[in-house]
Chains A and B, each alone.
Chain A
Amino acid sequence: MPEALSLLCRVPAHPESRCWALAWSPSGALLASCGGDRTSPRCPQSPQCPQCPHVPVSPCPGVPMSPVSPQVVATLEGHENEVKSVAWAPSGTLLATCSRDKSVWVWEVDEEEEEFECVSVLSAHTQDVKHVVWHPSLQLLASASYDDTVRLYREDDDDWLCCATLEGHTSTVWAVAWDSSGHRLVSCSDDRTLRVWQRPCPLPVTPPGVPCPLPDPVSPCVPSCPRSLPDPCPLTGAVATACGDDAVRVFEEVTPASPTAPVTFGLAAHVARAHAQDVNGVAWHPREPGLLATCGDDGDIAFWRYQRPEGL
């Protein structure tokens, strides 16, 4: 099975630190990663910022199959602490980051100039912000936080503002996701519930506290790693997981024995020591089938080539 997932290259993107999450730009030209260095050797000249959280953006290993060695094209500085999550707007012109410093930042991207300018610093949350995600079609941003809320942001005049606060969870909200139409938002929390929120009026459509045990029963490794959701590839349907046991796994839907049999997934690839420490994030390339990026507590980003094994 190892040959199903082969390593293309490995980049020490956040040396001496962790890398928390990854996001490909919609065109697939850039990969944004985020993390936080406690004692960063990357900025020895600035002892005032020992945290040195940064979001290096590496160009895609690209087409064809063998990637040129990825390079950091920009480091986005400004957050006062670890950067927990990063997300590209569908347009590719905006990037959002969130951090333990309780803030959410929106950056404007000039992909050609490789310039990133901060357009807004949003301090609506009162605690650590865990996850940011863009609406699939609108310029609407959602964030999840340790303050038990989800907040939505939109552009107003020449700044951004928090336009809704979704309250109801009784513990940390770890992650949020939109459905493909963008009408509904789902949030998952440490209170062991999922909540589904419906636009335009942000009310929960499920009664509060419907127990929906996390994690997802499909992927056996998620229990040890609640901070990252499994990533299904939009192109092939393969599901990749990041895991606290240092491993990266890929699951594929198994052709059912009969049309009435329940859908099952089978393990298609498993790299036991994909990273030297916990794996924190996985991201499939949006255009190139089977190109996978992973990141972990070792601060590395690894690029993989996945091929569905024969006879699965």
Chain B
Amino acid sequence: MAERFSAVLQLTDLDDFIAPSQECIKPVKVDTKAGKAAAKIRIEADGSYFQVNQDGEKQKLEKAKITLNDCLACSGCITSAESVLVSQQSHGELCKVLALNKAAAAQEQKVVVVSVSPQSRASLAARCKLGLLETAQRLTQFLKSLGVHYVFDTTFSRNFSLLESQREFVRRFHKQAEDKKALPMLASACPGWICYAEKTHGSFIIPHISTTKSPQQVMGSLVKGYFAEQQHLPPDRIYHVTVMPCYDKKLEASRPDFFNQEYQTRDVDCVITTGEVLKLLEQEGVSLSDVDPAPLDTMLGGAAEELSSHRGGGSGGFLEHVFTHAAKEIFGIHVGSIHYKPLKNKDVQEVTLERDGQVLLQFALAYGFRNIQNLVQKLKRGKCPYHYVEVMACPSGCLNGGGQIRLEGESSKEELQQVERLYDSPRAEIPEENRAVRELYQHWLGGWGSQRAQQMLHTQYHALERTNSALSIKW
């Protein structure tokens, strides 16, 4: 199970590829009572433990219990927590929820919403040999046939992530003189990278990470906030599923920061990967090309006629949008096309804005663990020349995520190129020009930079102290 997560997460800990409760290192508080020195411990046939004193008195011993929360709060082993999480967030779990929902009384039924990422859609289209729009329409129909009520596209919520990242960068750029950690700003959309940063470099790196929520979590806020209000439903009456190219997104959805205490519900209840959607199709014995196309849902009502995308590559285009916006906003320079300069390898590239030979902005993208490593070391030595870095845990970025479908008989390079072509096929939209986004900012969030926008579109990070338990040392 562990190998499905990005390499960054797998490497973060070592003694850890274990199942829950098997070799947990979480120190357990033991109430010691002063008493007789000698006692025997006997194991009964049913597996319970009894302490037998010298005078023959028996006392049942308590078992140490480790909860999921203990697991998540512990830096010891990500994999024990994740194996629990994976069972909580799987296509099997989705099927269970849909079945329960059908059987439930009308007033207890939940509205099931699925938000599909554009990376997953491209991977499915490549696998099913369909166009992107067709894939979206047929997938919508398929999900609805299972009992899903609405199918949205996270390209919509990504508009908010991009806009907030742009504004956050300009804000940080202007205060770089007084705040040494304002720059470089590091992208926050990749949960594998965030988890690694929190566990391994904690308070040193966290101030650099953009506070903007990822497209998945913005979608969570929109669905359980705006959409719930529109439907006159409390957030816990909506079951929100996302389809993602990446297993690490399951961990992101489970973060306490995205849990609504008041309604005891998560912004995203369940994350399934692209591969799991394929399993779902196989399980139902359905081929996507045989499903009738259905109109695409939009959050503000009405059907979408076409799909859209964003410029700047398969990981969301964060660098490109922030770069273009900053060039215009800070230096008044209009950037037409962006030139990426590859460095040591294809997963680390540089983009520079110059005027009269002077470097105004220097951005980079760093994908994959080795490049993240070099970036962090450069930062530590004060030798990082960049203003902004688009960091992603997977080599080649999100289109190559661990949850994507691997095509049969195709070399991984050709396969990825095919998915990239499909991904780039729709019209590229400009977030500032999206009317629905503007309307939501104006009427629902209360304007740019409002407190509500801050609350709905930004998050925070937590440095994890490592548990230094002698028990964790394995030879």
Q: How far is B344's CA from A123's CA once the two chains are assembled, in angstroms? A: 20
Q: Using a CB-CB cutoff of 8 Å, which residues 456-475 of chain B contact chain A?
A: 463-466, 468, 473
Are A48 and B199 interface neighbours, CB within 8 A? yes
Are A102 and B465 interface neighbours, CB within 8 A? no
What's the tally of chain A residues with a CB closer than 8 Å to chain B? 25
B395 surroundings in chain A (CB, below 8 A): 159
Contact of A47 among B344, B345, B377, B466 (CB under 8 A): B466
Contact of B14 among A46, A48, A81 (CB under 8 A): A81
**B201 close to A (CB within 8 Å):** yes
Among the stretches B86-94, B134-142, B350-358, B366-374, the one at the interface with A is B366-374
Chain A residue at minimum C-beta to C-beta distance from B17: A126
**A245 close to B (CB within 8 Å):** no
Residues 64-86 of chain A, each 1 if its beta carbon lies under 8 Å from chain B, else 0: 00000000000001101100000
**A214 close to B (CB within 8 Å):** no
A120 surroundings in chain B (CB, below 8 A): 370
Chain B residue at minimum C-beta to C-beta distance from A76: B377
**Given A81-B14, A117-B374: A123 touches B7 (CB 8 Å cut-off):** yes
**Given A78-B373, A118-B374, A121-B369: A49 touches B200 (CB 8 Å cut-off):** yes
**A103 close to B (CB within 8 Å):** yes
Q: How far is B200's CA from A77's CA once the two chains are assembled, in angstroms? A: 11
A119 surroundings in chain B (CB, below 8 A): 344-345, 370
Q: How far is B201's CA from A185's CA once the two chains are assembled, in angstroms? A: 39
**B236 close to A (CB within 8 Å):** no
**Given A47-B465, A48-B466, A121-B373: A80 touches B11 (CB 8 Å cut-off):** yes
A80 surroundings in chain B (CB, below 8 A): 11-14, 200
Q: How far is B371's CA from A159's CA once the two chains are assembled, in angstroms? A: 11
**A50 close to B (CB within 8 Å):** yes
Are B204 and A46 interface neighbours, CB within 8 A? yes
**B10 close to A (CB within 8 Å):** yes
Q: How far is B203's CA from A182's CA once the two chains are assembled, in angstroms? A: 47
Q: How far is the CB of A168 from chain B (nearest CB, A)?
A: 24
For the residues of B in contact with A, the DSSP-based class is helix
**A285 close to B (CB within 8 Å):** no
A38 surroundings in chain B (CB, below 8 A): 473
**B174 close to A (CB within 8 Å):** no
Are A48 and B11 interface neighbours, CB within 8 A? no
**B202 close to A (CB within 8 Å):** yes
Q: How far is B11's CA from A38's CA once the two chains are assembled, in angstroms? A: 18
Q: How far is the CB of B258 from chain A (nearest CB, A)?
A: 23
Are A46 and B373 interface neighbours, CB within 8 A? no
Chain A residue at minimum C-beta to C-beta distance from B10: A123
Q: How far is B345's CA from A108's CA once the two chains are assembled, in angstroms? A: 12
**B346 close to A (CB within 8 Å):** yes
A45 surroundings in chain B (CB, below 8 A): 204
Residues 377-388 of chain B, each 1 if its beta carbon lies under 8 Å from chain A, else 0: 100100000000
**A101 close to B (CB within 8 Å):** yes
Are A118 and B370 interface neighbours, CB within 8 A? yes
Q: How far is B468's CA from A77's CA once the two chains are assembled, in angstroms? A: 19
Are B373 and A48 interface neighbours, CB within 8 A? no
Are B200 and A101 interface neighbours, CB within 8 A? no
Q: How far is the CB of B384 from chain A (nearest CB, A)?
A: 13
Contact of B202 among A46, A117, A118 (CB under 8 A): A46
Q: How far is the CB of A19 from chain B (nearest CB, A)?
A: 18
Contact of B11 among A49, A103, A118, A158 (CB under 8 A): A103
Q: How far is the CB of B5 from chain A (nearest CB, A)?
A: 12
Q: How far is B450's CA from A229's CA once the two chains are assembled, in angstroms? A: 66
Q: How far is the CB of A18 from chain B (nearest CB, A)?
A: 13
B10 surroundings in chain A (CB, below 8 A): 123
Are B463 and A48 interface neighbours, CB within 8 A? yes
**A131 close to B (CB within 8 Å):** no
A49 surroundings in chain B (CB, below 8 A): 200-201, 466
- What are 17 residue pairs bridging A and B, where the CB atoms are less than 8 Å apart in the complex? A46-B202, A47-B465, A48-B199, A48-B202, A48-B203, A48-B464, A48-B465, A50-B466, A80-B14, A119-B345, A119-B370, A121-B373, A123-B10, A123-B11, A158-B346, A159-B345, A159-B370
Q: A120-B370, A158-B345 are in contact. List 4 more A-B contacts (CB 8 A).
A: A49-B201, A78-B373, A80-B13, A158-B346
